[in-house]
Amino acid sequence: MEKRYEFSSEKPREPASAREKFRSASVVIKTLKALSKLPDEKSLDSESAVTTLWALSRELPDDCGSLSVPGIPDEDAEFDAFDQWTAGLLRKATEVYAAAARMTVEALLYKCISSAYRNSIEADEEERDIVERARRWKLLLDRENCSRTLLEPEVLDKVARYESGLERSFFRTLHEIQRLQASRSGVVVPPVAAIDVDMTVHPKRFT
């Protein structure tokens, strides 16, 4: 069933947040799927490691509290500046999290990857919806502007009469200017001829 959109003066939001959500989910899926095949010393970029670490932490029960992983700074300032991420360090974090949640590492990874897949699908659908809303909003805005610029028939008639009157006045003034210019140049300009027209209508001819 096609969604219906009503015009709103408020412009739809940008799809940037949905795209970022999709990108983060993709990073988590890619990192966790490759983790088991990487040697411990393999370096990881900070964005991939931190994004995956937070995704793993969101799968833990609420009663797990704050967990400390050897090798990963606990202080926020040090954590934000930390750039020594490796596959072995992220694997160690996965083991600590799984033990705290009383799960196997495999179960935690499966749960986290499944959540990331769901998030990517939701983000993709959200972006499509936002883009479609923006397209419909632009179409409805154009229609709204068009409807406001069109005048009512009686108003259009008045405008047409005013335009005709202005046009006649313009040409009369133009002709007068041309006569004055010609006269100043020494050209003999005959006076404007005034013609009176009398019309007699015989009603019987129209019956």
Each residue of 61-82: pLDDT tens digit? 888 878 889 999 989 899 999 9
159 and 130 within one domain? no
- The DSSP secondary-structure symbol of 203 reads G
Check whether 11 has a pLDDT greater than 90: no
43-57 pLDDT, tens digit per residue, is 999 999 999 999 999
Check whether 59 has a pLDDT greater than 90: yes
**How many domains is the chain partitioned into structurally?**
2
0.75 exceeded by pTM: no
3-state SS class at 141? helix
In the block, tokens 């991420």 appear at 85
Alpha helices by DSSP H, listed for the chain, are 16-35, 46-57, 76-81, 87-100, 105-149, 153-184
181 and 84 within one domain? no
Is 207 contained in some domain?
no
Higher pLDDT, 63 or 195: 63
The stretch 104-115 carries a mean pLDDT of 95
Question: Domain containing 160: what range?
Answer: 152-187
117 and 172 within one domain? no
The stretch 156-180 carries a mean pLDDT of 76
178 and 127 within one domain? no
Check whether 34 has a pLDDT greater than 90: yes
